[in-house]
Structure 1
Amino acid sequence: MEIKKSAVAGTVESSDIMVTVAPNPEEKIAIELDSSVEKQYGEQIRKLIAETLKRLDVSAAKVTAVDKGALDCTIQARTLTAVHRASEVGEYNWKEIDSWNA
């Protein structure tokens, strides 16, 4: 999936994460994380964002995530939504996405 513009999903409220996805002219994935639980879960958050991007066939993007203790399902949902907004995709294959967690 091609990232065409910058897009945001989520908030900076407690137990949420704000994910911003933007095009990356360097043609790679770059993830910047600011998290209140960085020491405990930073590696897991980055891994989950990267896995979600891979499943969506995103090969070039700048991702900025501001985390306030979000659960994995919220991190995945916010990343998914931001990517779809940034790629200007209007339709989702929910059955495929739902199978990721099966």
Structure 2
Amino acid sequence: MLNRKGHAGTLESNDILVTIEEQNPGYGIQIELTSIVEAQFGNAIRRTLTNRAVNAGFTDLSIKAVDKGALDCTIQARMDTAIHRAIAIHQTITTATGGN
């Protein structure tokens, strides 16, 4: 397990706070979603989060999302930023320790 973590967003209105953590192989993509519009858009939010994770090459990822009515473009941007931050943190740690 690489233990990559990343987060992006806020708890402000019309935003979403996304936190991701890479998991052991076989975990899959698990989403814990809290949303003020879950009844109407929960499936679409989950689909967007999953698609962004898969497109970035993640197959085993824990995603926690607290949505305050974010538009799909905001959800995509927050997920992409969380992924980039997780990768940057991992690269910084491995460079500093000399590991892979």
Calculate the TM-score normalised by the size of structure 1. Answer: 0.79
Query: Contact 2:3–2:23 at 8 Å: present in 1 too?
Result: no
Measure how far apart 1:54 and its partner are. 1.2
Moved more, 13-22 or 26-35: 26-35
1:98 corresponds to? none
Measure how far apart 1:5 and its partner are. 2.2
Unaligned regions of 5+ residues in structure 2, if any? 92-100
Measure how far apart 1:9 and its partner are. 0.1
1:15 corresponds to? 14
Q: CA RMSD in A?
A: 1.8
Matches within 5 A, 1:1-102: 4-25=3-24, 26-88=26-88
Calculate the TM-score normalised by the size of structure 2. Answer: 0.81
Distance 2:2 2:45 in 1: 21
**Change over 3 Å in CA distance of 1:50–1:78 after alignment to 2:** same
Distance 2:2 2:66 in 1: 20
1:100 corresponds to? none
Q: Which letter does structure 2 place at the counterpart of 1:79?
A: M
Distance 2:84 2:3 in 1: 10
Query: Contact 1:3–1:60 at 8 Å: present in 2 too?
Result: no
Percentage of identical aligned residues: 44
Distance 1:3 1:82 in 2: 15
Distance 2:67 2:2 in 1: 22
Distance 1:71 1:3 in 2: 31
Larger helix proportion, structure 1 or 2? Answer: 2
Distance 1:51 1:3 in 2: 21
Distance 1:21 1:3 in 2: 12
**Larger radius of gyration, structure 1 or 2?**
2
